[in-house]
Amino acid sequence: MQFTQEDIQNNKVMAVLSYFGILALIPFLAAKESPYAQFHAKQGLTLFIVEIVYSVLSVILAFIPVIGLIVSGVLGLCVFVLAIIGIVNAVQGQAKELPIIGMIKIFK
């Protein structure tokens, strides 16, 4: 995807905000004129949905003594790493899809 340098510079904060859970709604709704902010907002909202699924799965896994704790911890770390990758991409002015979940297109 091609984005103008002006769009990237003016909307980096909105793009970074996209990777902080429900706060992804702010750039999604407030920066509709920015393709760069919208790209990251959509990635962030997809990540937020993954976080919700992870939370539900963690509650279910809590009933499995040791294995549940390990799996839940690994999944939580993966979600955290995806958020960090998204933030780094946004700060660097890049519009790269997140690994694994980037191919999921929930929002058009």
Contacts of the segment 22-31: beta carbons below 8 A, 24+ positions apart: 22/48, 24/48, 28/107
pLDDT tens column, 99-108: 999 888 887 7
CA distance 18 to 82: 12
Q: 4 pLDDT exceeds 80? A: yes
Q: Mean pLDDT across the stretch 64-79?
A: 92
- Predicted TM-score (pTM) of this structure: 0.89
Amino acid 1: pLDDT: 63
pLDDT tens column, 6-59: 999 999 999 999 999 999 999 999 999 999 999 999 999 999 999 999 999 999
